[in-house]
Amino acid sequence: MKILAGTAKGVFAIENDNARCVLERGGVRDLVKYGERLFAGTGAGLYISDDGGDSWSLAGVEAYEVWVVRRAGDGTLYAATQPAGLFRSDDGGDTWNEIVAFTQVPEAADWCVPIKPPLPGRARAIVIDQDNPQCIWVGVEVGGIMATADGGETWTLDLPGENPDLHMMCAHPEKPEVLFASTGYGRLDGVAEMIEGNAGVFRSDDSGGSWAYAWKGITPRYSRPMCIDPRAPYGLTVASAPTAFSKSEDEGGAQAMLLRSEDGGESWRSLCDAAHSPSRANIHGLAPDLENPGGVVIGTDTGEVWRVSNDAVWTLLGAGMPSVLSAVSYSD
């Protein structure tokens, strides 16, 4: 099993407790493997590797920061970007074309990250119905969930709990109509009151037609990284912190938590061990550990990568890297 970490300054391969840089690029927000090809979404476009991550080449979308890459059941690839955009590849990632209709919706004029000064909105989450690849959901920070049922020709807006601050999304592996979304406090006009219901995890049982709050009683509420295990019982794992800006350098640390639900968000339990309850380091990278059912691989703002087992045993895999924003585990 190999582990790659996407960091603020590049992609690192982690082997035998050592981390070596294999791609020097800023802002590696996503690492995924489809077939024999690896994809790295970076701050300077999309990169691909066909040799297990040893070498990389630019595949396109270089005028954008690429935040996420996802594949449909028919093999079509989609990449979401900042400034908010959506790109499609029909040849396995060799070439990419923008889905122009995505940014032509009236809502796009308001998409932004409402800090001072505001940043362009970012499309940072994609879910594709694996039974019907024409159905796609794209989460925009800050803007909401844009949904299409015709492969991107037309779009409609969903707002889980009236919250437009979308972070990550995933679908239940066996129930494509069941969607999960992690959200924060950002609103188009500023920051929402930091109370329960204004940030956290939402669940939809009808393909985004309606949403229910699945984060009741959970603190910290600000949820961002999220993944779902492809193996039964399909554990949903979420990392949370008090705010968008929580970091290890804060007095008392980031106060981050790692939480798991095996019942679709009805109940949650901690995946933190005694040394990480809460975690001083904030958790940015999060992916299923494909070697250990129920386990995850996480990356922190202190440049560490950990393997966390289903019974909350933490094992350090690599350290000394820039802030880790993404991770992937895969077999050779």
41's tokens: 């979404």
Bridge partners of residue 7, in order along the sequence: 10, 324
- Report CA Rg, the chain: 18
Give one DSSP letter per residue of 123-181, joined into a string.
EEEEEE-SS-TT-EEEEEETTEEEEESSTTSS-EEE-GGG---EEEEEE-SS-TT-EEE
**3-state secondary structure at position 96:** coil
- Averaged pLDDT for residues 160-176: 97
Structure tokens, 83: 């400034």
CB-based contact 285:298 (threshold 8 Å):
yes
Residues 303-332 have a mean pLDDT of 96
How does DSSP classify residue 294? T
Structure token digits, residue 43: 């701050």
Strands 222-228 and 156-158: what pairing? unpaired
pLDDT beyond 80 at 133? yes
Alpha carbon of residue 128 to chain centroid: 14
- The first and second tokens of residue 276, run together, are 């990480």
Cβ-defined contacts of 20-29 (< 8 Å, 24+): 22/53, 22/54, 22/55, 22/56, 23/47, 23/49, 23/56, 27/65, 27/325, 28/325, 28/326, 29/65, 29/66, 29/67, 29/68, 29/124, 29/325, 29/326
- Checking if the pLDDT of 331 tops 90, the result is no
Query: pLDDT band for position 197 (50/70/90)?
Result: very high
- Across the range 108-131, mean pLDDT stands at 95
Computed over every residue of the chain, the mean pLDDT equals 97
The pLDDT-based confidence of 2 (bands split at 50, 70, 90) is very high
Mind listing the pLDDT tens digit for each residue in 256-313? 999 999 999 999 999 999 999 999 999 999 999 999 999 999 999 999 999 999 999 9
pLDDT tens digits, one per residue of 12-50: 999 988 999 999 999 999 999 999 999 999 999 999 999
**Sequence-separated (6 or more) residues with CB below 8 Å from residue 206:** 177
- Separation of alpha carbons 199 and 223, rounded Å: 7
Q: Are 24 and 42 in contact (CB under 8 A)?
A: no
**d(C-alpha 33, C-alpha 36), whole Å:** 7
**Above 90 in pLDDT, residue 178?**
yes
What pLDDT shows up at residue 1?
A: 85
What is the structure's pLDDT at 332? 73
Of all residues in the chain, the percent with pLDDT exceeding 70 is: 100
pLDDT of residue 114 exceeding 90, the answer is yes
Sorted by where each starts, the structural domains of the chain and their CATH numbers stand as 2-330 (2.130.10.10)
- What is the rounded CA–CA span in Å between residue 80 and residue 65? 9
Q: What is the pLDDT of residue 317?
A: 97
CA 267 – CA 28 distance, rounded (Å): 32
3-class DSSP assignment, residue 110: helix
The type of residue at 106 is P
Return the pLDDT at 16. 86
pLDDT for the residue 146: 98
Check residue 214 and give its pLDDT: 98
